[in-house]
A and B are shown apart, each in its own frame.
Chain A
């Protein structure tokens, strides 16, 4: 981790008509850091992720990102071409539903190779070799490379989505409930995989989850949201073991012990 933040949000607000999506959120993500955003359903987690990843436009506030050349750029000032380039090279977005993040009618190899072709790879053999390498990293057998994701289990689809996002070596990955809808043993394997990839590649991750166990396992720092506001931030174990706010205490005490 360095002193210079990778992503900075200042005073982010977003309303849906009279309803508050997200209000006055400030946060910073440093290189190599995993930040968990937790809170109950409707607390504004996904809105915040949408704002950070420029999929939503904030009503107030701004998001800045440190480009590869070291300058901190206000994302709202980037043109659409530059923003899209950023999204498919320097960023990844792992969605809750793999159907939303994958091309279901395209083979696993094509899914992983798409970003490479988008940045100008024009050698089939190289693309295929890179795809095979990434499938191996996410523990998908090489002989499944030409199967399309419809033939994959939920856990495999999610791992494929991760490979598809990481193939261009992004520096920042957004994850929206990546383990939602998976059974516990598959969840555990996926979390293990994500944790090792994050450590290996030095990724910065913003992960949205309602599952405090996921936050504890993956994240270094966490942000607790309620009613669109950030009510508590801190190191993950500090927040989880010694919650300060009443709501966080409630959240932590609501976890069922197995």
Chain B
């Protein structure tokens, strides 16, 4: 497995994919156990990684453990390939493993993600690695770790419904829009990481292997291919995903998750695909949204709301445009239309 990075030899040489072989073995064991018990949080000896907690230390370790020299890696953050987190982690593995990287979902064999599942359907040949901040779905309901472990062991998940009850009592509907709890394979209740609940149905019966790594909390869990994943709900308040009024402003896609981008300080805004690869692919196929540019080449994304300094070709770019786009799942968004 150990191979020196290709190209000019740098001053520092890394073991393949940064981690030493013993560490990768340890993580692979945890992954195998996690796959054997879908949804169960397996403790593992997470290492310090050369990045701060909260930036994907868990996901990076899982990726490093499953990565081979022939793999093609894609890294997304909030659906985008061009954000700081995605660019940094992609660069990390280019440097330490010398693997090929891509932004195209179809070409990737391993996709590390933060906060989204790609719009393009995944295949059996792919592994989706999630970065997880807080793996315990019961954490904010029951602060004692000993107690939450007992609740998982005995499958006592009434508490999870107390949270949903509170949502309905306060808001009239289930207001949890991200990190929406799911039941995996009819047994363990799991936090799907802070993906919008829009993506929850994609986890159900997914052909790809889904791995979840939480670095700070030192937990790994998994959903094997073709496993049932059910979002918790009430009989009279069934689970529903977010819906959007308008299609993507650039590619006209419907039924995809949209980001709100503020264009100026006079209330101008647009809604664009959160999945950049999906959006660019559609534009290349000739789909044009109401604010897109016809003629083949993808129109420049109106921002750099994702922080990566994309050439700003859009007029009326407000100073606030430099911020993070507001995902409809995470805050107030005009696009979110709830039943």
Contacts and interface: CB of A to CB of B under 8 A. Distances in A.
B237 A124 contact: yes
Contact of A122 (B150, B162, B166, B234): B234
**Which size bracket describes the interface of A in this complex?**
20 to 34
Contact of A107 (B150, B169, B235): B169
Nearest to A119: B158
B266 interface: no
B236 interface: yes
A145 B165 CA distance: 12
Contact of B154 (A81, A107, A125, A145): A81
B interface secondary structure, majority: helix
Interface stretch (A31-39, A109-117, A239-247): A109-117
B329 to A, nearest CB: 22
B159 A84 contact: no
Contacts of A119: 158
B167 to A, nearest CB: 10
A117 B165 contact: yes
B236 A118 contact: no
Contacts, number: 51
A1 B168 CA distance: 42
Contacts of A109: 165, 169
Contact of A80 (B154, B161, B162, B234): B154
B162 A114 contact: yes
A110 B158 contact: no
A123 B235 contact: yes
A118 B234 contact: no
B169 A117 contact: no
Contacts of A80: 150, 154
Interface of B: 141, 150, 154, 156, 158-159, 161-162, 165-166, 168-170, 234-237
Interface of A: 80-81, 84, 103, 106-107, 109-110, 113-115, 117-119, 122-125, 127-128, 145-146
